[in-house]
Every structure is written in structure tokens, then in C-alpha cells.
Amino acid sequence: MIQSLYAASSGMIAQQTQLDLISNNISNANTIGYKKQHAEFADLMYQSINHVKASQTSMEVGLGVKSTSISREFTQGDLKKSGNDLDIAISGKGFFKLQLGDGIVAYTRNGTFRLNHEGSIVNADGNKMLPEIRVPKDATTISISKDGVVSVKKSGDENMLNIGQIKLANFVNPSGLRSLGDNNFSSTEYSGSAITSMPGQNGIGETKQSYVEISNVELVREMTNLITTQRSYEANAKVITTTDEMLKIVNKLKSELI
């Protein structure tokens, strides 16, 4: 019966991990470019109680469950029109490349950009998009094509001037990226090195101006998972209380026999 205590406690720990992830998903339901997470589990080793020679089988009892990994789902979120000329959504695979203040190169799906005092395209935290693109101060119109070409029209000019090319990065295994917070990720040995290309080429998605990609969290599904997780947590807690009651009965019987 002691084994049931350990197995049930491992189940409660696993469901708590799942609950933490669901809570984080729900709280980021309106976060631009957020990608939902889920936990993956595996059963623990089994203990052989008795071996039956005639059938060459054994009686095995599992010792619980453990969390093996936390995966992030990089499925496409819905695109929402923002009206801001510097908001860019990626329709398909790929990430924007950013230069963080500490020198780290980061990757993000959050395409809410603006101009800094130098005219460079930066994100909300002031991190520059790579490769760096500078917009002239006298530019009156900014146009971003689906293949990432950035053009501007200056005051008094009729023709559009090409000032830069947005390039996107992709990975063999995006789920292997490491979260840095602020919707930023860094490459790891599990994600592989970044594969940089122009939008619309080599399997990378296209850029869409004046749109943002909202979170891929589905609130109805998350609420269903929340209820399922709660019920599983309660069931494991019930196993512990039931085992405790059974142990009390055993201890009472022993004291009476003595």
C-alpha cells in the first residue's frame, strides 16, 4: 500500500505541472505571437511481484508517472489587422531575427515593430530587427511586400524607394528552441542552427503588413484540459486518502492482535 502513496503523489506532481502550463497558456491567450505549451508524461519503472514460470509472465506493478518534457506548439495563430504600417505577421513558418541588448541573437513571432530615434525598425523593447533596416526621417509612406521588401516614399517623390529586405529564420526542430521570455527564443543544439531566407522561399512563410499574429491558444480546449487535469489531481488525492484509511485499519488490527 505504501507504493500507492508514492504512485499517487507522483501523479499529483505531474498534474500540477500540467496545471501550471494550462494556467500560463490561458494567461497569454491575448499575447501577440505566443505559442502554447503542453507537458508530456511517461510511466515510471515497474516492480515485479511474482514470476509465473509456466506462462513465462510476471506480475508487475507500476510505480507512478513522471514529466518527460514540456513541448511548445508552433502552429499558426490567427492573423488580426492592426492598421499599423510597421506591424508584420508571418503567414506560415519562420521567425523574425532580433539583436538583444546583451548581444544575444533572438527569434520571435511577435511582429509588432516601430521606429527608434535612429529610424531603425525595432520591437517594443527597442531591440533591432536583423538585418537592420533604417527608414529615412522624411519618409511619408512605408510599404512591406509579402516577400519582405521594405520600400518608402519620401516627401515630394512619386516613386517608392527600396531601403531593405526582411529575412526570416526557420529551424529543423522549432520545439527545441529555448524560451527567453518576452516572446523571444534562442537556438539550441536541439533546435539546430537558424536557416535564414527571404519570406516565401525555402518553406518559410510570407510577411503580411499591418497584421499581427495572435496567440494560438484555444480557450475552449484549455478549459477542457483544465477540468480534466483537476479531476485527475483529485483522483490521485483520493488514492492517498484511501490508502491512509486502509493503513489505519491495518494498524488497528495489529494493535488488537497484540
Class of residue 114 by CB neighbours under 10 A (exposed 0-12, middle 13-18, buried 19+): middle
**pLDDT score recorded for residue 52:** 57
Local confidence band at 90 (pLDDT 50, 70, 90 cut-offs): very high
Instruction: Give the model confidence (pLDDT) of 70-86 as tens digits.
Output: 999 999 999 999 989 99
What cell numbers appear for 172 in the block?
A: 529543423
User: What is the C-alpha to C-alpha distance for residues 105 and 60, in angstroms, rounded to an integer?
Assistant: 50
Given a contact cutoff of 8 angstroms between Cβ atoms, the answer to whether 208 and 96 are in contact is: no
User: What is the C-alpha to C-alpha distance for residues 206 and 220, in angstroms, rounded to an integer?
Assistant: 29
Average pLDDT over residues 240-252: 87
**pLDDT score recorded for residue 51:** 57
Q: Who has greater pLDDT, 209 or 159?
A: 209
Given a contact cutoff of 8 angstroms between Cβ atoms, the answer to whether 29 and 217 are in contact is: yes
Average pLDDT over residues 196-204: 95
**pLDDT score recorded for residue 47:** 79
Lowest mean pLDDT among 12-21, 59-68, 119-128: 59-68
User: What is the C-alpha to C-alpha distance for residues 127 and 122, in angstroms, rounded to an integer?
Assistant: 5
Local confidence band at 94 (pLDDT 50, 70, 90 cut-offs): very high
Lowest mean pLDDT among 26-30, 100-104, 105-109, 118-122: 100-104
Given a contact cutoff of 8 angstroms between Cβ atoms, the answer to whether 170 and 203 are in contact is: yes
* CA nearest to 111, candidates 197, 32, 200: 32
* pLDDT > 90? residue 157: no
Percent of the residues in the chain that have a pLDDT greater than 90, as a whole number = 76
Average pLDDT over residues 123-149: 94
Which residues share a beta bridge with 60? Answer: 48
Average pLDDT over residues 194-210: 96
Average pLDDT over residues 120-126: 95
**pLDDT score recorded for residue 119:** 94
**pLDDT score recorded for residue 258:** 65
* pLDDT > 80? residue 57: no
**pLDDT score recorded for residue 56:** 62
Cis, bond preceding 199 (omega within 30 deg of 0): no
Average pLDDT over residues 4-33: 94
**pLDDT score recorded for residue 106:** 97
Percent of the residues in the chain that have a pLDDT greater than 70, as a whole number = 95
DSSP the chain: -HHHHHHHHHHHHHHHHHHHHHHHHHHTTTSTT---EEEEEEE--EEEEEEETTTTEEEEEE--EEEEEEEE--PPPPEEE---TTBEEEESS-BEEEE-TTS-EEEES--BEEE-TTSBEEETT-PEEES--B--TTEEEEEE-TT-EEEEEETT--S-EEEEE--EEE-S-GGGPEEEETTEEE--TTT-S-EEE-TTSTTPPEEEETEEEPP---HHHHHHHHHHHHHHHHHHHHHHHHHHHHHHHHHHHHHHH-
* pLDDT > 80? residue 53: no
**pLDDT score recorded for residue 55:** 56
